[in-house]
Amino acid sequence: MASTSRLPDPIQESYEWQHAGACRGVDTETFFPPETERGPRRRRREAAAKALCATCPVVQQCLDHALSVREPFGVWGGLNQTEREHLLRAAG
């Protein structure tokens, strides 16, 4: 049997900031669109997500998380996937 004394501590506490998110309880489709959604409908949905992010007390932690794990989908920290990709490229 493997020794459990070497297992790392859970990292759940590093995501504690999510409990304070303005998005908590909001339909996930607001932040993660259906793949087939395009045009004005997608832009309106994304604008609604970003407006909620603008009121969020943990927006910076959310963005930091999305950038650190290179989150490939949705609006995180007020930025969509394309905007995050540009930010990462500009950073280097």
What does the pLDDT average to over 26-35? 92
Please check whether residue 62 is in contact with residue 56, taking contact to mean a CB–CB distance below 8 angstroms. yes
Domain spans in the chain, listed from the N-terminal domain onward:
20-91
What is d(CA 66, CA 72) in angstroms, rounded to the nearest whole number? Answer: 8
The pTM assigned to this predicted structure is 0.82
Owner of token pair 């950073």: 91
Please check whether residue 21 is in contact with residue 52, taking contact to mean a CB–CB distance below 8 angstroms. no
Based on the number of CB atoms within 10 Å of its own CB, is 79 exposed (0-12), middle (13-18) or buried (19 or more)?
A: buried
Pick the range with the lowest mean pLDDT from 2-11, 41-50, 82-91: 2-11
Q: 41-65, pLDDT tens digit by residue?
A: 999 999 999 999 999 999 999 999 9
